[in-house]
A = this chain, B = another copy of it.
């Protein structure tokens, strides 16, 4: 590197403690395994360690009998030098429905107090109204606010619309912007255009978050590095690739001695990696080999990898696997009818289930419509990227009124009421526990009473059948109704 080439440092967010294990071992990493790893990670010099939020909160309570707040405090103690980053689903927080503003405010405040430094906030529909309250509160509590754009491909999404969203996020006070490519669909050329475009328009750090599901992510990361991306999300190699992120070590090595050096030492990474190898051994039975390989169907159908296997298992249950190609053809039509939502939790499930219904019932489409699709058309999830046609709207909800305001404006404050409930039931002793109860009213009581048990880590050889070894689906209660969710 000559003196004429100043370093324009590339920053790394390591996702090993959150997205990587969520993607490869169904979010099952225990706190006891996280802490020694976190202590090693702390020495690397990462921009941040993504370590909380997403599906980790739910999994702690549902499967691991761990207190997610306690985990956060312990992680904070293990990561004194490295900012802790969380993934926050906007008004959905770490749940699957909109929470009232008072709950959002308290949740963000408690997250910051217990250890979160950087909040990555997204909304499945890119409806900033669903992100605004939590974003404002991140600023109020002094956190680093990273606004995320849910990346997708459609006739109404393109570089210009994403740049426009980046401008809105910038105006909303974001400290950085993340391009969140949950399905691994972003191509190298689109990456370059989008990063260059955002950086030309707003003066802000840009992060790229992708998944290697389709095998494209490492190529797009290279394009991003050249286009001047500021931060890349990577995972330590034993938990990298497949449905997870590209490997940390490779991205670090690839930039050594160039203008985009990370300043991270490969021998330090080797120690972290060796620790990860041991952890991987322990959890090996949870790794579905399929999730580690390139899924090139993603390139053709543009569906997140998890959604494809979910459709397969839905059809298998109905003994209708021969209709898979019909469903693949129906999914983009349903998505079009619903105004091209990005396919991410919960929209991937909403679109997928309806496509299966449309195909299996035959005859007229939308003869039978799920409650979620009705709510979606009613506007209860927010504003769809493209308007829904009058014809489809009538087909689905008849002459019912559509909500055009911010969905959470319909919600009464709930914290105080739930606090009273929890107190009466002898459940909650802390504000954090009340928040846990509000997030998951169905399972939190048994957790808070200490009646739940941690599931065992399977020690057998991995079984090929996805549905049995990787609990990719879970039932959650939404407004009293059981909702089939696939975490992707």
Supplied contacts A241-B294, A249-B299, A461-B461, 14 more A-B pairs, CB within 8 Å: A214-B249, A214-B250, A214-B253, A215-B218, A215-B250, A216-B254, A219-B219, A219-B254, A223-B226, A226-B226, A237-B293, A240-B294, A270-B300, A273-B296
**Contact partner of A300 among B214, B223, B267, CB < 8 A?**
B267
In the complex with contacts A253-B187, A254-B187, A296-B237 CB distance below 8 A? yes
Contact residues in B for A267 (Cβ distance below 8 Å):
300
The answer on a CB contact under 8 Å between A299 and B216 is no
Does A174 lie at the interface of the complex (its beta carbon under 8 Å from any beta carbon of B)?
A: no
Check A297 for interface membership: any CB of B closer than 8 A. Answer: yes
Flag whether A168 is at the interface (Cβ < 8 A): no
Q: Are A300 and B258 in touch, CB under 8 angstroms? A: no
**Are the C-beta atoms of A296 and B247 separated by less than 8 Å?**
yes
B250 touches A296 (CB 8 A): yes
CA–CA, A104 and B273, complex, Å: 46
A247 to B184 alpha-carbon distance, docked (Å): 15
A216 touches B294 (CB 8 A): no
With known contacts A241-B241, A241-B294, A270-B297, A219–B250 Cβ distance under 8 A: yes
Task: Name, among A188, A246, A461, the residue most crowded by chain B CB atoms within 10 Å (CB to CB).
Answer: A188
Q: Is the CB of B216 within 8 A of A253?
A: yes
> For the complex, would chain A's binding face be called helix, strand, loop or mixed by DSSP majority?
helix
Q: Which residue of B lies closest to A248 (CB)?
A: B296
Q: CB of A311 within 8 A of chain B? A: no
What are the interface flags for A300-332 relative to B under an 8 Å C-beta threshold, 1 for contact and 0 otherwise? 100000000000000000000000000000000
Top 3 A-B pairs, shortest CB-CB distance: A215-B250, A249-B296, A218-B218
* Complex Cα spacing A220 to B258, Å: 14
On A, residues with C-beta under 8 Å from B are: 187-189, 214-216, 218-223, 225-226, 237-238, 240-241, 246-247, 249-251, 253-254, 256-258, 266-267, 269-270, 273, 289, 292-297, 299-300, 461
Chain A to chain B contacts (Cβ below 8 Å), 15 pairs: A187-B254, A188-B254, A189-B257, A214-B249, A215-B241, A215-B246, A215-B247, A218-B218, A218-B219, A219-B219, A241-B241, A241-B293, A267-B300, A270-B297, A461-B461
Contact A270 B254 (CB under 8 A): no
The residue from B225, B226, B240, B266 contacting A215, defined by CB atoms under 8 A apart: B240
Report whether B299 and A188 are in contact in the complex, using a CB–CB cutoff of 8 Å. Answer: no
Q: How far is the CB of A10 from chain B (nearest CB, A)?
A: 12
A293 proximity list for chain B (CB < 8 A):
237-238, 241, 292
Task: Indicate the member of A267, A270, A293 with the most B CB atoms within 10 Å.
Answer: A293
- Pick from B188, B270, B461: contact of A222, CB below 8 A: B188
Q: Of B187, B215, B249, B269, which contacts A249 at CB under 8 A?
A: B215
Residue of B nearest to A253 (CB): B299
Given A218-B218, A237-B215, residue A250 in contact with residue B299 (CB < 8 A): yes
Quick check: B296 and A269 within 8 Å, CB to CB? Answer: yes
* A223 / chain B contacts, CB cutoff of 8 Å: 222, 226
Instruction: State the Cβ distance, A24 to closest chain B Cβ, in Å.
Output: 11
> Which chain B residues lie closer than 8 Å to A269 at the CB level?
296
Which of A216, A219, A293 has the most CB atoms of chain B within a 10 A radius of its CB?
Answer: A219
Rounded to whole Å, the gap between the CB of A20 and the closest CB of chain B is 13
With a cutoff of 8 Å between Cβ atoms, the chain B residues found around residue A189 in the complex are 257-258
Residues of B within 8 A of A461 (CB): 461
Task: Return A193 CB to nearest CB of chain B, in Å.
Answer: 11
- Beyond A216-B254, A240-B294, A250-B215, whether A299 also contacts B221 by CB under 8 A is no
Distance, CA A225 to CA B218, complexed state (A)? 13
Q: Kindly list chain B residues whose C-beta atoms are within 8 Å of the C-beta of A295.
A: 237
